[in-house]
Chain A
């Protein structure tokens, strides 16, 4: 079974608790709020991506401005899922549900890659300009 380790960005509030409750066997979610600050306070984009790679967490964020695949190309991080449009919590959960229901074949491909998650599809950008689109 594919179990996604996800790191929920602060701008998505308390989504980690909701995900752990809804998908206990499919998702292990931690919040960026819960990262222990050391010499980083984990508010900077690069620090967050670095800790995601180190701990093998997929960063789940609605930050559309700084998390760009040109800045963080595929395979240089643990994986980034970005949701454009600042959706509401029910909408975020609906999008994730569709992604999870698309099956383990696609879920495996999210790790280390850059994914745009919308209501209609998930677009996974991989290395060597390979793009996988999952239509819901």
Chain B
């Protein structure tokens, strides 16, 4: 489903009526909101009022993303983690902003895919004909680990 359609779907489920067009004045009763719809309605209208991580409906990762603003939460986390992993960087103009090995066009997900296909760090280094070092691959894996951990447990920052 396209993101815009997904947002529209959520708004529809939450009982939020889209603005009627000037040509076609729609005046129908809003559908009964479901539990999911109610939660989404609150988040869409007032994100700060929701206690993220405690809702049975919205998981922590989505909540963290919504809390920081649509689509910006994970981007900010990706940038922040680059400070901890100097071999990784993000740039809007390289691979569309995907975290990647610094100075190369190899993204962290690509490293994970190569690991899945080849099975070891040494095999990845050999596959890239030594143009990528084992240290770079390990940093990419550590980055992916940290990203997952922090995205799924945003409360870690409070410790």
Q: Which residues of A contact B (CB under 8 A)?
A: 9-11, 13-14, 32-33, 41, 43-46, 48, 62-63, 65-66, 86, 88-89
Contacts and interface: CB of A to CB of B under 8 A. Distances in A.
Given A11-B107, A13-B127, A86-B109, A65 B117 contact: no
A41 B95 CA distance: 14
A86 B127 contact: no
A13 B107 CA distance: 12
Given A45-B93, A45-B94, A11 B103 contact: no
Contacts, number: 53
B128 A63 contact: no
A44 B104 CA distance: 9
Interface string B118-130: 0000000001110
Interface of A is mostly: loop
B106 interface: yes
A63 B127 contact: no
A94 to B, nearest CB: 13
B105 A9 contact: yes
A45 B96 contact: yes
Interface string B82-121: 0000000001011111100001111101100110010000
A48 B104 CA distance: 12
